[in-house]
Structure 1
């Protein structure tokens, strides 16, 4: 059993991942200013109560030929999105994204896409507004989402998590254009 990162290790690991993303993968318009400021201030980004934002992880799950993507109909957000959720401690950030994907969709045979080179390297980092959840007295806030690319077989059965997801389904990859323009643009460079 591998030890989970301590709070100091978590922030150190996150700092390295964000720095590498900005220097190697981000477009010139991506600054991630709020995320970098919160890291610098030592905010507990692994806690969903941290405001103005905290960390989430999500999974772009594509068919091996990149023709389809697995999406969920999110109950709280009220739209189709990639599977994901609040960060939960794991040895690697991509493992948090994979866990969420499996929980929400029941997808099997999930593997990290070769683009990642076997490293904890986000495909996209997207900081975005979310409406909050009134039932938890949660105000609107920011999700700093580390998004990872995975591959799975679209013919395997899915079982969606009814508490958080209305449905899970494979759809043509073009759906990603509206959901995540940054993710869609980066994925097009792989085809």
Structure 2
């Protein structure tokens, strides 16, 4: 989407998420304030926070999850990164997963019904990066569900991740507890 379409697309995604998906205690206060103030959330330089997208990639039976060992963060996470212009937010998340892991055959999970509705919006603190003269800040992460075949080979993007692996689904609760809790109500595709 072009930069001038980004604010309206984000407003639609966040509004739908709050109305259709979010738990009562999910206020998204900082994200909503930044949107109201007209912050360029599509730019990495925007502080105190900006948009990221990530992919929660599941095996078709929901028994496994694809994770990366993140170089900067130093822990296992779902693949994702700073928003890059795409026709839809889920395509930004898909691109990050494909780049970081080499996964092929990604499919948007049926839960999304082919729409750009985030499964989870997780605003969280991240450390700054000295090499970029970047202070600690917030990532407003739009998370999307995908499925892929865990038997296919992976190829980690070693500039950003130490490794990419399929792990047991229970690991999701360690780094994305809100998504893990919500996933319990989602059925594996038939």
Same fold (TM over 0.5): yes
Q: TM-score, length-normalised on structure 2? A: 0.97
Alignment partner of 1:186 out of 163, 182, 188: 182
1:104-126 alpha-carbon deviations (Å, 9 max, x no partner): 00000000000000000100000
Q: Please name the residue that 2:122 is paired with.
A: 126
| Residue 99 (1) aligns with residue 95 (2) | yes
Q: Please name the residue that 2:72 is paired with.
A: 76
| Residue 48 (1) aligns with residue 41 (2) | no
Gap regions ≥5 residues in structure 2: none
1:77-115 alpha-carbon deviations (Å, 9 max, x no partner): 000000000000000000000000000000000000000
Find runs of 4+ consecutive structure 1 residues off by over 3 angstroms.
Answer: none
Work out the CA distance in 2 between the residues paired with 1:17 and 1:147. 11
Alignment partner of 2:141 out of 141, 145, 148: 145
Q: TM-score, length-normalised on structure 1? A: 0.97
Aligned-CA RMSD value: 0.6
Q: CA deviation at 1:132?
A: 1.4
Q: Please name the residue that 2:168 is paired with.
A: 172
Aligned-partner SS, 1:163: coil
Gap regions ≥5 residues in structure 1: none
Q: Please name the residue that 2:9 is paired with.
A: 13
Aligned-partner SS, 1:184: helix
